[in-house]
Amino acid sequence: METLLAQLTSAGTAAVNLSTHATTATLRRQALLGCQALLDQIKVAQARLMSDATTHRDWISTGHKNMADWLADTTKSSYGDAKRKEKLGNALGQSPDLNQAVASGQLSPDTAEALADTITNPPAAATPADISDLVAAAKGATPPQAKAAADYWRERLTNETEEEAEARRFAKRSVTTTIPADGTSTTSITLPVLHMRELLNAFDHAAGKFTEGDTRTNAQRLADGAITLAKLYNSGQVNGGRSNPNIIVTITAEAFAGLTNQPGHTPWGDRIPAHTIRELAKNATLQRVVMAGDSIINLGRKVRYATHEQYLALIARDGSCRWGNCTTPAAWCDVDHVQQWANGGTTDIDWEWLLCPHHHTQRHLPGVTIHGNANSNTRITLPNGTTIHCPPKGATHHRTKHVKPQQTAPPGRQAAQVA
């Protein structure tokens, strides 16, 4: 073992010295490839060591909760990165096909890492042959391409409904922060892709555009946007954010109508489940695009589901999020249909109410039912049988006069584009 560790140190020293000997473009490219090959080998070796150490519970007596915690604390590195290495090691141990593909160079360690969670937690119906097919399909792919292939593979083999799959993804949400070092700290955020796009769009919007002479990187500009939002919130100047930037999601008319479950896509190539888009579109600006072959022959006018006037009436009636004792301000809430639009619900004040983003998500989880309309004694029953009373909390608890639906688009709604 001592000999192997000495060889590892020698390899690191040689890599450091490469920079002083790479004097031409060709040599520098060769040196970069050599360093990458060494890093890949070390990453795979470290992943296997992490998996083995976790199996043997080597963190016991160190005062840490697991091996990833021990490695991150000892090296002052990312806990999330350490967990990903552990998952990669587990996946390499579970799948001979994945192990062989990485060893032969048909899959990079980063691409294998993108498959690791799916391979270690496959759908119940998946067979070893199915996993072999997934690995074969990912050979030569980039990590994002492999992740997309894994998502499609899981959807094809799973018995989950769209709602159950979305609930499973949402349950993975997290915010973790490292111990401050050198006056800085790193925060890792895990969110469903659409929520992450909303977060990044908010940072982008708050940061403003690059200006002449701006020396910031884009990562620094987004960080400035996050700082700006936090300062405004803490000083009481965030008043609802109704002028947030749009998120464009394209989906077929058939999927939007619920005839198929074909996912939609953002301009960044993110795959968004059809169920999520249909829910999002209840508060969205819709742009109809009629196609003949590859040509656009008609652009329809924008269609609003909940008008700005209705939103103001809901603020007056509901006062805040309607869910139980939630006190999230009305200006930060979403307009939700009590009876879902896809099930025949109407865009009337009697059947619309305000829910904060968290409770809007909870309301659409499988097994949740709503009793009554939105005017008075509205109740929510959770899958475990718990009933939550959700009365209006605003200045006007009486029957609100209907506001005639308009076709104008109020500011700040997110957008879904129907193709």
* Edge-first strand listing for the sheet containing 248-251: 271-272, 264-265, 248-251, 414-418, 284-292, 295-299
CA distance 62 to 70: 8
CB 369 within 8 A of CB 338: no
| Across 68-82, 194-208, 332-346, 374-388, least confident range | 332-346
To which residue do tokens 């009876």 refer? Answer: 339
Higher-confidence residue of 17 and 251: namely 251
Whole-number pLDDT of residue 329: 80
Q: What's the mean pLDDT in 313-325?
A: 85
Q: What single letter denotes the amino acid at residue 416?
A: A
pLDDT tens string 392-416: 887 554 333 333 333 333 333 343 3
Which residue from 229, 216, 345, 349 is spatially nearest to 279, judged by alpha carbons?
345
Q: What single letter denotes the amino acid at residue 292?
A: A
Tokens at 159, concatenated: 């018995």
pLDDT tens string 128-138: 888 998 999 99
HSE of 192, CA atoms in CB hemisphere, 13 A: 16
The pLDDT confidence band at residue 8, using thresholds 50, 70 and 90, is low
CB 202 within 8 A of CB 225: yes
Higher-confidence residue of 91 and 270: namely 91
What's 283's DSSP letter? Answer: G
The pLDDT confidence band at residue 97, using thresholds 50, 70 and 90, is very high
**pLDDT of residue 108 exceeding 70:** yes
Q: What's the mean pLDDT in 152-181?
A: 81
The pLDDT confidence band at residue 57, using thresholds 50, 70 and 90, is very high
pTM: 0.52
pLDDT tens string 348-364: 778 889 998 888 988 88
CB 317 within 8 A of CB 400: yes
List Cβ neighbours of 122 (8 Å cut-off, separation of 6 or more). Answer: 130, 131, 154, 157
Whole-number pLDDT of residue 56: 92
| Across 23-37, 58-72, 134-148, least confident range | 23-37
HSE of 41, CA atoms in CB hemisphere, 13 A: 10
The pLDDT confidence band at residue 95, using thresholds 50, 70 and 90, is very high
Distances (CA, A) of 295 to 287, 291, 366, 410, 416: 16, 6, 39, 30, 20
The angle formed by the CA atoms of residues 81, 266 and 212, to the nearest 5 degrees, is 80
The pLDDT confidence band at residue 302, using thresholds 50, 70 and 90, is very low
Rg (CA), the chain: 26
CA distance 380 to 7: 64
To which residue do tokens 């656009």 refer? Answer: 296
**Average pLDDT score over the chain:** 80
The pLDDT confidence band at residue 118, using thresholds 50, 70 and 90, is very high
CA distance 131 to 98: 9
All domains of the chain in start order, with CATH: 2-160 (no CATH), 174-234 (no CATH), 308-402 (1.10.30)
**Total number of residues shown for the chain:** 419
